[in-house]
Chains A and B, each alone.
Chain A
Amino acid sequence: MTNSEPLLDVRDLSVTFTRKGGPTVRAVDGVSFTVRPGETVGLVGESGSGKSVTSLAVMGLLPRRGVQVGGQVLFDGDDLLTLPRDRMRDIRGRDIAMVFQDPMSSLNPVVPIGVQVTEVLERHQELKGEAARSAAAELLSRVGIPDPNRRLKEYPHQLSGGMRQRALIAMALACRPRLLIADEPTTALDVTIQAQIIELLKELVQDTGASLVMITHDLGIVAGLCDNVHVMYSGRVVESAGRRELFAQPRHPYTGGLLGSVPRLDAPRGAPLHPIPGSPTDVLRWDHGCAFAPRCQNRVDACLDGPPPLEAYAGRSLRCLNPLTESEEVSV
């Protein structure tokens, strides 16, 4: 971890979806975090916690209709939210790149892989023809795709899922971006392939010195990869900590629940799993109290009085009035 100026500084980001005649939904609510050069940051949470919307907001990829984005996203000092659209297009793919969740649907089925890789190079590096093609072949072999010259001519349906995710990673890293956002890059893949892809990302990020924002619900991935972790619940960060602190002693009951629900090999045979009770839809609106309160086992009356603030606590930021204590065994 370096202590230089942050590369990405997200300040008080909020995203609100409005629908004609429907309720407004605040998907992201006052989220702040920073990513320093070379750092790997994890955004963790269940489905619906706002982690993907956060990443799309940073990329400027949210639809313009019916969406209000507030706050600041400072990248290298520029606020990405107020940049003109063409400037933003210059940054996307060159300085900030993204790998998406589902490699099956994230590649254009009717365009050869080669074109989909070279188009980034042509757009941002002004490579053309043979130069772009050989650069693309090099990228494919760099991400571990054998026989790249043949693969360049093939179409997505001719590649396996892991192969496609590798191709997408090649496209994302084509212009050596300074920041890579990976949105659940392994969710759609087999477990064995998942590990390979994570290793690949780790290696590539180390080699290029890029920063990585890893969005996941899988704490196992976070444990092996991230320097800092932000746990999100219902659109807000509830706990931010260094990886070691977080795994040594989670303080927010939600983080504790996430850790506790991971099945363990050293648990006694037949021991029951410990899911977090309730479901992520079972939330309180933040202005009425802590959104996690309906599912929380540490709830106190004050939790329902209003939103708990995000405060420094035991070497981290925490949004909880009754945190887990040292003695309190995580329900494993």
Chain B
Amino acid sequence: MLKFVVRRLFQLIPILLGLSVLLFVWLRALPGGPAQALLGERATAESVARIESLYGLNEPWYVQYWKFISAAVRLDFGNSARTNRPVTEEMMRTFPATLELAVAALIFAVGIGIPLGYYAAKKYGSWLDNLSVSGSLLGVAVPVFFLAYILKYVFSVQLGWFPTQGRQDPRIDADHPTGLYVLDGILTGNLEASWDAILHLVLPAIALGAIPLAIIVRITRASVLDVVHEDYVRTAEAKGLWERTITRRHVLRNALLPVVTVIGLQAGLLFSGAILTETVFAFDGVGRFIAEAISNRDYAVLQGFILVIAAMYVIVNLVVDVSYGLIDPRVRVR
């Protein structure tokens, strides 16, 4: 098991190296550049050249790449061309925000999706089943930004139940040792700040979690429908076991195998940031930051952030593979 994890972590090295080359070439193939973006359309050739030499952008790409990669192994990705602050500092600020949002969205999607999918399958053909099937279709079909605006309009603007934007009420004075605001509040004993952070998370988490929720409901429902007709469930019934034992031990453990895969894939996507949701709710996370970096051709930020996101994606998948082995002994890794 440990060997498997270590081996998979070593596989990260070639993945990240390859990705960094691709990224490097791809970014420089984009029309325009950071100097152009910084100076605007009417910049003179001299001022562009001055900025480029300032950032070392006039050197051949392999020299630039070498400089980048030799710094990157020390987790130094340079400075953002836009904010002029170290990229790692920007990461420390935005990744916890996105992580918090992604976890909240996952809790929403998994916490509602699995029970709903299960009961829809149990009550196959009932109104609950039909509602969950059509509802999940709607969940996949509605564009995220549209759903986000609707949620914001109804629950923040009209009803005033939730704050409209940001991560924390500016009037609350809170310390942020980890950058995960809910956790910070608990750690520093400032529960009011925690609660406020949770309120700020609710609507973005629902908007972001809608698609994963819909997918999880559908997969769970289909999987449970398959499993309840399996012979081993009949065996369990023949033993006279209590219904809850049968559900937990014999139905759900098998039915959740495909669901775990889907949750893992969705988690990987969520951790890489949610541009639309973060923009609508002015949530200061990775997605919004990357979107801005793209329009500013902020090479340092893009290179650093995308590499870290790729590493996270690989690690999330590793976690999924390991947890898969925990629930299914047939694919257990040795």
Contacts and interface: CB of A to CB of B under 8 A. Distances in A.
B115 to A, nearest CB: 20
A102 to B, nearest CB: 6
Contact of A109 (B236, B239, B241, B254): B254
B240 A123 contact: yes
B67 interface: no
Interface string A92-127: 111001101010011111111001000110011000
Nearest to B245: A119
Contact of A123 (B235, B239, B250, B327): B239
B50 interface: no
**What size tier do the contact residues of chain B reach?**
20 to 34
Interface string A175-206: 00000000000000000000000000000000
A110 B241 contact: no
A41 interface: no
A151 to B, nearest CB: 14
Contact of A120 (B231, B239, B253, B330): B239
B237 interface: yes
Interface in A18-42: none
B226 interface: no
A107 B329 contact: no
B249 A119 contact: yes
A100 B253 contact: no
Contacts of A109: 232, 254, 328-330
A124 B230 CA distance: 23
Interface in B284-334: 327-330
A94 B240 contact: yes
Given A119-B245, A123-B245, A155-B330, A100 B234 contact: yes
Contacts of B127: none
Nearest to B233: A108
A61 interface: yes
B237 A110 contact: no
Category for how many chain A residues contact B = 20 to 34
Given A102-B231, A107-B232, A171 B239 contact: yes
A2 to B, nearest CB: 26
Report whether over half of chain B's contact residues are helix, strand or loop; otherwise say mixed: helix
A108 B250 contact: yes
Given A155-B330, A157-B330, A108 B232 contact: yes
B10 interface: no
B2 interface: no
B238 interface: yes
Contacts of A108: 232, 235-236, 249-250, 253-254
Contacts of B230: 105
Contacts of B26: none
Nearest to B327: A110
Nearest to A107: B232
Nearest to B249: A111
A111 B250 contact: yes
A91 B327 CA distance: 31
B235 A106 contact: yes
A288 interface: no
A92 B238 contact: yes
B120 to A, nearest CB: 15
Contacts of A157: 329-330
Contacts of A15: none
A98 B240 contact: no
B249 A89 contact: no
A98 B236 CA distance: 10
Contacts of B245: 119, 123
Contacts of B232: 105-109
A59 interface: yes
Nearest to A93: B240
Contacts of B249: 108, 111, 115, 119
Contacts of B242: 89, 123
A119 B239 contact: yes
For the complex of A and B, list the 5 residue pairs with the smallest distance between their C-beta atoms, beginning with the closest.
A93-B240, A92-B240, A93-B239, A105-B231, A108-B232
Given A100-B234, A105-B231, A109-B254, 5 more contacts: A92-B237, A98-B238, A110-B330, A123-B241, A155-B330
15 contacts: A91-B240, A92-B240, A94-B240, A106-B231, A106-B235, A107-B232, A108-B232, A108-B235, A108-B249, A108-B250, A110-B253, A110-B257, A119-B249, A123-B245, A168-B235
